[in-house]
Amino acid sequence: MYPVLSPRVGSQTVPRDNVTAQIANSGASPSNCSSARLSTPIRTLYQQQNGVVEAYKGLVDQYTGVVARRINRATEHERVRTVTNGLIEAYNWTW
């Protein structure tokens, strides 16, 4: 089963998925609470959630890389277009 990711990149890095829902439904204390003794099933859910969050972060990093490459390609395209238009203009003046 694949996690359902938050539709807004950069808002929160925690995906909305079944693991998070199971943790919420279990009534477990937050993992940062030192007094909380987590049972094995709850601990397993937290470990699954951590795996999902890491996978989500990897996807965000991958998306960021794709966007950066797209911007670089668009910038290069604009430079080529400007040079080409300049050459066409210079060619038109030679006739």
Separation of alpha carbons 68 and 4, rounded Å:
24
Q: Measured over all CA atoms, what is the biggest interatomic distance in the chain, rounded to whole angstroms?
A: 85
Output the pLDDT for position 19. 64
Nearest to 15 by CA among 46, 47, 57: 57
**Dihedral Cα 62, 68, 72, 73, nearest 10 deg:** 50
The answer, yes or no, to whether residue 89 has pLDDT greater than 80, is: yes
What is the rounded average pLDDT for all residues in the chain? 78
Q: Are 64 and 38 in contact (CB under 8 A)?
A: no
